[in-house]
Amino acid sequence: MKIISEVKSHDGRQLVIRHASSTTRCKMTFALFLPPGEGPFPVVWYLSGLTCSHANVMEKGEYRRIASELGVAIVCPDTSPRGNTIPDSTPDDWQFGQGAGFYIDATTPPYVQNYQMYSYVMKELPELLFAAYPLAPNRQGIFGHSMGGHGAMVLALRNPGVFKSCSAFAPITQPSTAAWSQRAFREYLGSDESSWREWDSVCLIEDGARIDSLLVDQGDADAFLNDGLRPQLLAKACADAHINLTLRMQPGYDHSYYFISSFMPEHIRWHAARLAA
């Protein structure tokens, strides 16, 4: 791993790191914030949304002050493999391809060779980080925004022993049936829609996956609320499964980082409380 940049912020270290990934078969870049102190630190993974990279939340998410105060490390992976040799969608299609990996492991060509974001975030990147930095593997949480909220919930539901906390900002709750994500699932996973269920948080809950609790903030002025996000589907699935969901509809907020940064401190406090030693 090569440190591309390092700056001091709120007495902690904001790093941007690049490495060659054997999982995605390309160079990957991620952000890591280490709070002051020696560690080992609890770590919270933040998964970004469509069109984003590691940089969006690092520059606009406003997480460092509260993370430094609470002694929590924050990891921000990229959203997909990248490079001239990586299969991509057309330039005007932002709903799959580079910048839109959906945190799944593709099974169909040509995407199967590189689009293995679930395995990258779940396996390869943690192994590298825990070997190199003072992070506590037994105290991990995960959250994200939109496509990243979908990814966070799927990773938590599929790995309940790994993540002790999970939250989301405006997550895509049922991507297998949402118009703006169905194409990505078809491109990455093929036409057998039954195979899509293991990458869909609502379907996972319906099929028996469980987590203890979940915090979701959703702006009621979000332009994608009714077509892509549909928090009511998650609310019903959690109610039926007796999962403790705190769903907060935030008046007047949209889908942007103005929304995310407004509630970022509350989410990091949520995770810190559940990751306390």
> Which pLDDT tens digit goes with each residue over 243-266?
999 999 999 999 999 999 999 999
Taking 70 as the threshold, does the pLDDT of residue 277 lie above it? Answer: no
Mind telling me the catalytic residues? Answer: 146, 222, 255
pLDDT of residue 73: 98
Extract the tokens encoding 86. Answer: 């990586």
What are the structural domains, with CATH classification, of the chain?
A: 2-164+174-199+261-275 (3.40.50.1820)
Q: Which of the residue ranges 1-10, 90-99, 183-192 would you say has the lowest mean pLDDT?
A: 90-99
Taking 90 as the threshold, does the pLDDT of residue 93 lie above it? Answer: no
Tell me the C-alpha distance between 126 and 193, whole Å: 30
Task: State the burial class of residue 244 (Cβ atoms within 10 Å of its Cβ: 0-12, 13-18, 19+).
Answer: exposed
